[in-house]
């Protein structure tokens, strides 16, 4: 049984109740979303968690933080710290993208300690395992791949990125497209290398039903990877991207037919004026399945500031239908993120998610925002700090103020507009009474 099959049979699970309560939605809303696929609750039945977030239409926007070692830098403690800081500042999910000789150890420890959903990209482990046998991804067999996803499912992974839409046809479109930047997806590039060498259709597409059978057994949500996502501004929304999305739409229906919950992954690099269009195309071609976007980054020049470029795109995306934002850190395109980069990345994506939820009239966002507005009017610094996106940083800035305990701040001092108007309005009110 998966959350989807339970919903279709009319069973109400504890996870559905938890999600409904968190979203302040009635249970029917969650159940109906699970039935028609517009909502999923990534939750592997092998693992207990503290939070059972649902992702999808009509729900608050969720944020994911990618962590994990690289072959150049492997440190379990550091990855656990990245996980903890991500959750502290509001990430709803963690993806472990580890490479290197501690893949299993890091995954198992993250799964043990994470109170939120955890995702992986199993082809990374496959690629690494083959490399230590002095082989390459081109030597991958479907048996190896199925064993890898089953092992990760048994470990308790809640959702897995599977690039089953990287096929001969989507690759053909990419080759003919004359892209500025060919393929930037690690998994996508691995599958293209396999297909080019073996001159066959992708095994992930060909054996998709077998993959789904394993995912259904453990209720692992499939996150349909976007191996053809544009990695450059000028490649956005090209034929390769759309061809893959058409395939992902077909694969979404096949997964639902087997009871598997689905998330569809999306770009990438997208011009500001095409973000809304991209959300609409995905919802149309993938039948309303939850959309999970990486950023999107709205230009190619933001190295060192890509978390900001990603938050700009993420806010527009979430306002127009994206359900799940994958954060981008300031280290994007440059190096493996540090703990501080991870924190900055999550906060930037949370700002994007919050801004979209606020504009979309989400109750939680309106309430939190109003608390800040009231505190600002009352020059109530404790509550301004408490309800801000990063109270620690707000407190630090306030404490560094030369004014100290005064009710205004060093921006305007005695010329504080808020204080002046409060006094004027108070005087007028006093006079009237």
Q: Please give the size of the binding site for ligand SF4, defined by CB under 6 A.
A: 7
Nearer to ligand SF4, 1 or 394 (CB): 394
Check binding of 342 to ligand SF4 (CB under 6 A): no
DSSP string covering 282-349, please? HHHHTTT--EEEETTBS-S--TT-HHHHHHHHHHHHHHTT--EEE---TTTTTS---HHHHHHHHHHH
CA-only gyration radius of the chain, Å? 23
Check binding of 358 to ligand SF4 (CB under 6 A): no
Given its phi and psi angles, is residue 94 left (phi above 0), alpha (psi -120 to 50 degrees) or beta? beta
Residue from 20, 40, 16, 34 nearest 93 by CA:
40
Burial of 31 (0-12, 13-18, 19+ CB in 10 A): buried
CA distance 155 to 213: 17
DSSP state of 234: G
Check binding of 63 to ligand SF4 (CB under 6 A): no
Check binding of 425 to ligand SF4 (CB under 6 A): no
DSSP H or E stretch at residue 56: strand 55-56
Instruction: For the CB of residue 379, give the shortest distance to ligand SF4 in the complex, in Å.
Output: 6
Check binding of 408 to ligand SF4 (CB under 6 A): yes
Instruction: For the CB of residue 237, give the shortest distance to ligand SF4 in the complex, in Å.
Output: 42
Burial of 134 (0-12, 13-18, 19+ CB in 10 A): exposed
CA distance 200 to 219: 30
Helices (H) and strands (E) in the chain, counts: 19, 10
Neighbouring residues of 47: CB distance < 8 A, sequence distance ≥ 6:
111, 156, 158
The span of 14-22, 47-55, 329-337, 404-412 binding ligand SF4 (CB under 6 A) equals 404-412
Instruction: For the CB of residue 354, give the shortest distance to ligand SF4 in the complex, in Å.
Output: 21
**CA angle at residue 134 from 107 to 129, to 5 degrees?**
15
Instruction: For the CB of residue 312, give the shortest distance to ligand SF4 in the complex, in Å.
Output: 25
Check binding of 394 to ligand SF4 (CB under 6 A): no
Instruction: For the CB of residue 367, give the shortest distance to ligand SF4 in the complex, in Å.
Output: 22
Residue window 245-284: x/- pattern of binding to ligand SF4, with contact defined by CB under 6 A: ----------------------------------------
The span of 35-43, 208-216, 355-363, 407-415 binding ligand SF4 (CB under 6 A) equals 407-415
Check binding of 366 to ligand SF4 (CB under 6 A): no
Instruction: For the CB of residue 398, give the shortest distance to ligand SF4 in the complex, in Å.
Output: 10
Check binding of 214 to ligand SF4 (CB under 6 A): no
Tokens of 197: 């060498």
Check binding of 421 to ligand SF4 (CB under 6 A): no
Of 359, 412, 421, 425, which lies in the binding site for ligand SF4, with binding defined by CB under 6 A?
A: 412
Instruction: For the CB of residue 424, give the shortest distance to ligand SF4 in the complex, in Å.
Output: 14
**What does the buried/exposed string (b/e) look like for 186-222 if buried means 16 or more CB atoms within 10 Å of the residue's CB?**
bbbbbbbbbbeeeeeebbbbebbeebbebbbbbbbbb
Q: How many CA atoms lie within 13 A of 326 on its CB side?
A: 27
Of 85, 242, 394, 409, which lies in the binding site for ligand SF4, with binding defined by CB under 6 A?
A: 409
Of 411, 421, 424, 425, which lies in the binding site for ligand SF4, with binding defined by CB under 6 A?
A: 411
Nearer to ligand SF4, 112 or 370 (CB): 370
DSSP string covering 81-112, please? HHHHHHHHTT-SEEEE---STTHHHHHHHHHH
Nearer to ligand SF4, 154 or 396 (CB): 396
Of 57, 368, 418, 422, which lies in the binding site for ligand SF4, with binding defined by CB under 6 A?
A: 418
Instruction: For the CB of residue 429, give the shortest distance to ligand SF4 in the complex, in Å.
Output: 20
Of 359, 417, 424, 425, which lies in the binding site for ligand SF4, with binding defined by CB under 6 A?
A: 417
CA distance 37 to 55: 10
Strand-pair category, 39-40 with 55-56? antiparallel
The span of 19-27, 28-36, 249-257, 408-416 binding ligand SF4 (CB under 6 A) equals 408-416
The span of 100-108, 116-124, 143-151, 409-417 binding ligand SF4 (CB under 6 A) equals 409-417
Nearer to ligand SF4, 64 or 384 (CB): 384
Check binding of 375 to ligand SF4 (CB under 6 A): no
Residues at the site binding ligand SF4, with contacts judged by CB under 6 A: 408-409, 411-412, 416-418
């Amino acid at each position: 049984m998966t959350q989807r099959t339970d919903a279709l049979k009319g069973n109400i699970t504890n996870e559905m109740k938890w999600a409904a309560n968190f979203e302040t939605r009635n249970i029917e809303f969650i159940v109906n979303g699970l039935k028609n696929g517009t909502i999923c609750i990534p939750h592997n039945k092998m693992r207990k968690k503290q939070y059972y977030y649902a992702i999808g239409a009509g729900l608050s926007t969720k944020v994911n933080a990618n962590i994990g070692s690289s072959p150049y830098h492997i440190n379990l403690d550091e990855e656990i710290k990245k996980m903890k800081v991500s959750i502290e500042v509001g990430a709803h999910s963690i993806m472990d993208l580890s490479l290197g000789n501690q893949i299993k150890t890091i995954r198992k420890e993250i799964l043990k300690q994470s109170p939120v959903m955890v995702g992986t990209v199993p082809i990374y482990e496959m690629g690494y395992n083959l490399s230590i046998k002095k082989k390459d991804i081109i030597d991958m067999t479907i048996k190896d791949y199925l064993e890898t996803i089953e092992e990760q499912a048994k470990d308790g992974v809640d959702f897995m990125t599977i690039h089953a839409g990287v096929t001969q046809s989507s690759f053909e479109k990419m080759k003919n497209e004359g892209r500025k930047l060919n393929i930037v997806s690690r998994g996508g590039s691995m599958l293209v290398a396999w297909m080019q060498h073996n001159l066959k259709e992708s095994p992930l597409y060909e054996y998709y039903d077998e993959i789904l059978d394993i995912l259904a057994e453990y209720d692992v949500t499939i996150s349909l990877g976007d191996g053809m996502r544009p990695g450059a501004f000028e490649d956005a929304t090209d034929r390769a991207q759309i061809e893959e999305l058409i395939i992902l739409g077909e694969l979404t229906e096949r997964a639902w037919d087997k009871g598997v919950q689905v998330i569809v992954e999306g770009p990438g690099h997208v011009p500001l004026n095409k973000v809304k269009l991209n959300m609409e195309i995905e919802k149309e071609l993938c039948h309303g399945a939850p959309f999970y976007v990486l950023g999107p980054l709205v230009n190619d020049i933001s190295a060192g500031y890509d978390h900001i470029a990603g938050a700009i795109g993420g806010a527009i995306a979430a306002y127009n239908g994206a359900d799940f934002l994958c954060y981008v850190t300031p280290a994007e395109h440059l190096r493996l993120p540090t703990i501080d980069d991870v924190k900055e990345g999550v906060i930037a994506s949370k700002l994007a998610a919050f801004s979209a939820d606020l504009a979309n009239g989400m109750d939680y966002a309106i309430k939190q925002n109003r608390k800040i507005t009231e505190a600002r009017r009352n020059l109530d610094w404790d509550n301004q700090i408490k309800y801000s996106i990063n109270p620690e940083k707000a407190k630090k800035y306030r404490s560094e103020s030369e004014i100290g305990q005064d009710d205004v701040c060093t921006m305007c001092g005695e010329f504080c507009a808020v204080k002046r108007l409060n006094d004027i309005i108070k005087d007028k009110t006093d006079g009237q009474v």
